[in-house]
Amino acid sequence: MDSFESGGVGAGIVIALGLIYKIYQAVNHKHIRSRCCGRELDASLDISDTGNTPIKVAPAPENAAVKQNGLSTETPPVKNG
């Protein structure tokens, strides 16, 4: 270890991540209901992973203005001479 400061920073990060994980465990998949003064409050917190489903991306459409005008996006052949 280079110094005590870098060790302290590393330990602080580990402690912070541990606290965040404990808070996550405490509030994940909880449902809270409250009735006070004739009012009702319902709240829930569900944190789930995003999964590994790929996103489908449609191919880009061709430029309609180019097709409409009869223009081409291809480069013309070069004539020698």
The one-letter amino acid code at 46 reads D
User: Would you say residue 65 has pLDDT above 60?
Assistant: no
pLDDT value for 48 = 73
Nearest to 27 by CA among 43, 40, 13: 43
pLDDT value for 22 = 92
CA distance 12 to 9: 5
b/e sequence 24-48, b meaning 16+ C-beta within 10 Å: eeeeeeeeeeeeeeeeeeeeeeeee
* Each residue's pLDDT tens digit, 2-51: 677 788 888 999 999 999 999 888 888 888 888 888 889 888 877 777 66
Nearest to 41 by CA among 32, 50, 29: 32
